[in-house]
Amino acid sequence: MIRVTENFRETQQLLAAAAADAARPADQIRLLAVSKKKPLEDILALATAGQRDFGENFVQESLQKINSTARDDLKWHFIGHLQANKTKVVAEHFHWVHTIDRLKIAQRLSKQRPYYAGDLNVCIEVNIDNEPQKSGVPPADVPLLAAAIAELPRLKLRGLMCLPAIRQDFEEQRKPFAALRELLEGLRSDGLELDTLSMGMSADYAAAIQEGATIVRVGTAIFGARS
Ligand SMILES: *Cc1c(COP(=O)(O)O)cnc(C)c1O
């Protein structure tokens, strides 16, 4: 438990250093603690240490955690692949969905979002490296999908998310993140009001911050390796 809190503090410091390197204010970058496959106790320890945003990938697992934390000050972000038959639980319990990859999913979330819950924040997942095995929308298809999602009630389209191919070199890591930023800038000049780039994980968040990430999704560096 102590180690998770220590990792968290260290990650906050590294994040602040990466922001300084990029000449950006650290408070423009939200740290999302990715807690998939990690126990509730770790989440509660981080909540006590001040963390509020948690990312989960699996619907059943996350529902159990959300219900058992029993705190209404935590923000839950769905970052896994979302199947059409699981959208209702997500619409009812999450504050954010980062992984919209087709209009049908957005339409279901829009219909199923309860009135009492306020708008659900969503991002489009972009297959930024055009990898055949990966989910996400091809970059070329993003403008049409974004325009359609922006019209849906009870959803608030916030921006774009990506999960690029693994690269070791810092300068190489920057390229797909730069491409996502340019895609977002294009949507903005088309008139969409977007403020979110969800990009960067434990191994590459410094490069993502350099390219304008506003949410970095960090699991391993905080919680340790997953089995
Ligand atoms: C698991 C996961 C992360 C966290 O990855 P780490 O390498 O453990 O930091 C981030 N984003 C998504 C979409 C994930 O599935």
- Tens digit of pLDDT for each residue in 144-176? 999 999 999 999 999 999 999 999 999 999 999
Nearest-CA residue for ligand 1 atom 14 is: 79
For the chain, what is the mean pLDDT? 97
* 49 falls within a domain: yes
- Tens digit of pLDDT for each residue in 102-136? 999 999 999 999 999 999 999 999 999 999 999 99
Domain count along the chain: 1
pTM: 0.98
Ligand 1: centre distance to CA 219 (Å): 6
Closest atom, ligand 1, to C-alpha of 221: 9
Return d(Cα 68, Cα 56) in angstroms, integer: 14
* 184 falls within a domain: yes
Which residue among 79, 126, 134, 199 is best mutated to probe the pocket of ligand 1, counting the most ligand atoms within 8 A of its Cβ?
A: 79
Residue 144 pLDDT: 98
State the pLDDT confidence band at 1, using cuts at 50, 70 and 90: low
Domain that holds residue 168: 38-195
* 75 falls within a domain: yes
* 220 falls within a domain: no
For the chain, the farthest-separated pair of C-alpha atoms sits apart, in whole angstroms, at: 47
Q: Residues 85-112, buried b or exposed e (16+ Cβ, 10 A)? A: ebbbbbbebbbbbbbbbeeebbbbbbee
Nearest-CA residue for ligand 1 atom 4 is: 219
* 2 falls within a domain: no
Q: HEC profile for the chain?
A: CHHHHHHHHHHHHHHHHHHHHCCCCHHHCEEEEECCCCCHHHHHHHHHCCCCEEEECCHHHHHHHHHHHCCCCCEEEECCCCCHHHHHHHHHHCCEEEEECCHHHHHHHHHHCCHHHCCEEEEEEECCCCCCCCCCECHHHHHHHHHHHHCCCCEEEEEEEECCCCCCCHHHHHHHHHHHHHHHHHHHHCCCCCCEEECCCCCCHHHHHHCCCCEEEECHHHHCCCC
* 225 falls within a domain: no
CATH number of the domain that residue 166 is part of: 3.20.20.10
- Tens digit of pLDDT for each residue in 80-100? 999 999 999 999 999 999 999
* 211 falls within a domain: no
Return d(Cα 167, Cα 205) in angstroms, integer: 12
Q: Pick from 221, 201, 224, 199: which is nearest to 212 by CA?
A: 199
* 72 falls within a domain: yes
Which residues, at least 6 apart from 192, have a Cβ–Cβ distance to it below 8 Å? 146, 147, 150, 157
Is the CB–ligand 1 distance for residue 218 below 6 Å? yes
